Amino acid sequence: MSLAAERTGIGRNTVYLRRKVDPSFALGWRNAVEMAAEALRDAAITHALDGDIRLLMFLLRAVRPEVYGRRVPKLSRTGPGHRRRSDTANNSAQF
């Protein structure tokens, strides 16, 4: 949005303030962001077919982390790698 504000001669802060106070402007903002995300996705598909996977995944994770973000498995607090505080204290005394 900073580039769009700059190109129109409107201050960046003015645009963000307008979004806060004008629901219609905020809706247009969300629509513009969605359109940009879709265009980015389309470009990503094109570039992916050309083999530039790393850059594309970075960009996709930035705009759609809920879809393209890294999924890290949750560690179990009771699984085999879990130590109780007392176990840790006893083991540290051995070093």
- Count other Cβ atoms within 10 Å, centred on residue 84: 10
> Per residue in 12-32, pLDDT tens?
899 899 999 999 999 999 999
CA-based Rg of the chain, rounded to a whole angstrom?
23
Q: Stretch 70-86: mean pLDDT, rounded?
A: 62
> Per residue in 18-74, pLDDT tens?
999 999 999 999 999 999 889 988 887 787 778 888 877 887 788 788 888 876 666
Q: Stretch 80-94: mean pLDDT, rounded?
A: 52
Domain boundaries, the chain: 2-70
The pTM is what?
0.51
Label residues 58-77 b or e (16+ Cβ within 10 Å = b). ebbeebeeeebeeeeeeeee
